[in-house]
Amino acid sequence: MAIDAFGRRIDYLRISLTDRCNLRCVYCMPAAGVAWKDHDEILSLEEIERFAAIAVGEGISKIRLTGGEPLVRKGVVGHVRRLRALTGLEAIALTTNGTLLARYAAPLVEAGLTRVNISLDSLDPAVFERVTRGGKLADALAGLDAAFAAGMGPVKVNAVVVRGLDQDLLAFARLTLDRPVHVRFIEYMPVGGASEGGECEPAGEGWTRADHVSAEEILERLTAEGTAAGLGALEPVRRGDAPGGWGPARYYRYAGAPGTVGVITPLSHHFCGECNRLRLTADGRLRACLFSDEEIDVRSVLRGGTDADVRDLIRTALATKPESHSSRVGTARGMSQIGG
């Protein structure tokens, strides 16, 4: 079992398969994109699998594949199948923008992956196109349908709430009425573009405090709009009845709905005390905290060291994982490079 210096059990590894993406979400990437890493800077799938095997031996039991957009990485299905075969790994999950999922959902399920989070920030095609700078909502919705058709579950939809985007939150909540979709609203985080001044100009168009919408406000809006629309109030879901998850979401439900509405509040309610994760970036850096720029170079050890050397790096990450991110604003690398 992997325990860090503050007694937290670390059993969850997020692996970024690529820094590349087929979208350019305004809050995640600059319009011109970011300079992609060269091919040899990115870990090969074999290197990732070796690292994962060692990490599982150290106590990691859950792996999430992310990016950039993980489904643009060639060979992703075989990669899932090989990771799934690791003894000691309980589950593997995917975070995707969904636009390529119609093609991949069935093979992924066949390879052993059923847990999927689809990031989707608007259900209005014009707003979706604006937020993603050119993406097609129909592609993401086809991905959502394909996830259900292929038998994936739990299926979650993650929406980052940004005040300036003027999103229709109730439209998302309505997704929970017909199918077991678990919609989670995520507070907008100041990642990327670290600056001394307390604001940041992140990878995207620029995080400001004014764009941050707290979970309390999200829930108040959903209750008011849901009541006006005849859906009633959101009722809290007990932990045991919530969709299985690896993170600190709080869940609610409209009466009788098969799906749930969740909120994830990294800023307004710190959950560092429950943090259970490590991150491996596509270029082979081990990151113990999303908000800390301390990274451990795993790539060069994977290319020149022994398994014991790699294991030592994992132990160093556990020993140096910060207790909390306090109110840090901005990071050296953007979310598409860290993996969310």
Binding partner at 189 among ligand SF4, ligand SAM, none, C-beta below 5 to 8 Å by kind: ligand SAM
Angle at 248 between CA 287 and CA 293, to 5 degrees: 20
Number of residues that bind ligand SF4 (CB under 6 A): 13
Q: Which two tokens stand for residue 303?
A: 């290319």
Residue tagged 């996830």 (tokens): 147
Name the residue nearer to ligand SAM (CB basis): 160 or 288. Answer: 160
Site membership for ligand SAM, residue 105 (CB under 6 A): no
Angle at 30 between CA 189 and CA 207, to 5 degrees: 30
Residues 2, 10, 15, 23: which binds ligand SF4 (CB under 6 A)? Answer: 23
Closest CA to 323 of 280, 286, 292: 292
Stretch that binds ligand SF4, among 9-17, 18-26, 79-87, 220-228 (CB under 6 A): 18-26
Site membership for ligand SAM, residue 186 (CB under 6 A): yes
Report whether 111 contacts 139 (CB < 8 A): no
Report whether 234 contacts 252 (CB < 8 A): yes
Name the residue nearer to ligand SAM (CB basis): 72 or 170. Answer: 72
Site membership for ligand SAM, residue 291 (CB under 6 A): no
Binding partner at 24 among ligand SF4, ligand SAM, none, C-beta below 5 to 8 Å by kind: ligand SF4
Site membership for ligand SAM, residue 135 (CB under 6 A): no
Q: Rounded to whole angstroms, how far apart are CA atoms 170 and 176?
A: 10
Report whether 332 contacts 191 (CB < 8 A): no
Q: Least Å distance between CB 66 and ligand SF4?
A: 8
Q: Least Å distance between CB 189 and ligand SAM?
A: 4
Residue tagged 């600190």 (tokens): 248
Bridge partners (DSSP) listed for residue 207:
200
Question: Biggest alpha carbon distance in the chain?
Answer: 62
Site membership for ligand SF4, residue 24 (CB under 6 A): yes
Instruction: Name the site residues for ligand SAM (rule: CB under 6 A).
Output: 21, 27-28, 66-67, 69, 95-97, 119, 158, 160, 186, 188-189, 191, 335-336, 340
